[in-house]
Amino acid sequence: MTGSVLAFTLGGGAALKVTVDTRLCIGSGTCAMTAPAVFDQDEEQALVVVLDEAPPESERAAVALAVERCPAAVILMHS
């Protein structure tokens, strides 16, 4: 799988990685609307762009919701 990788640490020190497969992104913008501090879309193809590779703990719930709502299922969270 190729694409962007977003990694951050949750409270308690557990490392978490979010993998985005940009090859399969359909450009729905759901991630950018759900977690705008972390995701955006490029202007040419409207594909996902990771804005913050180390988002604060306060963005964790929004990132998890973006993963859940992604219609192409291209955002994955790994621990």
| For the chain, domain boundaries | 4-78
pLDDT of res. 7: 46
User: What are the beta bridge partners of residue 23?
Assistant: none
48-50 and 4-9 beta bridge pairing: unpaired
CATH code given to domain 4-78: 3.30.70.20
pLDDT higher at 5 or 73 = 73
For the entire predicted model, the pTM comes to 0.76
23-71 per-position pLDDT tens digit: 999 999 999 999 999 899 999 999 999 887 777 778 889 999 999 999 9
C-alpha 5/C-alpha 50 separation (Å) is 8
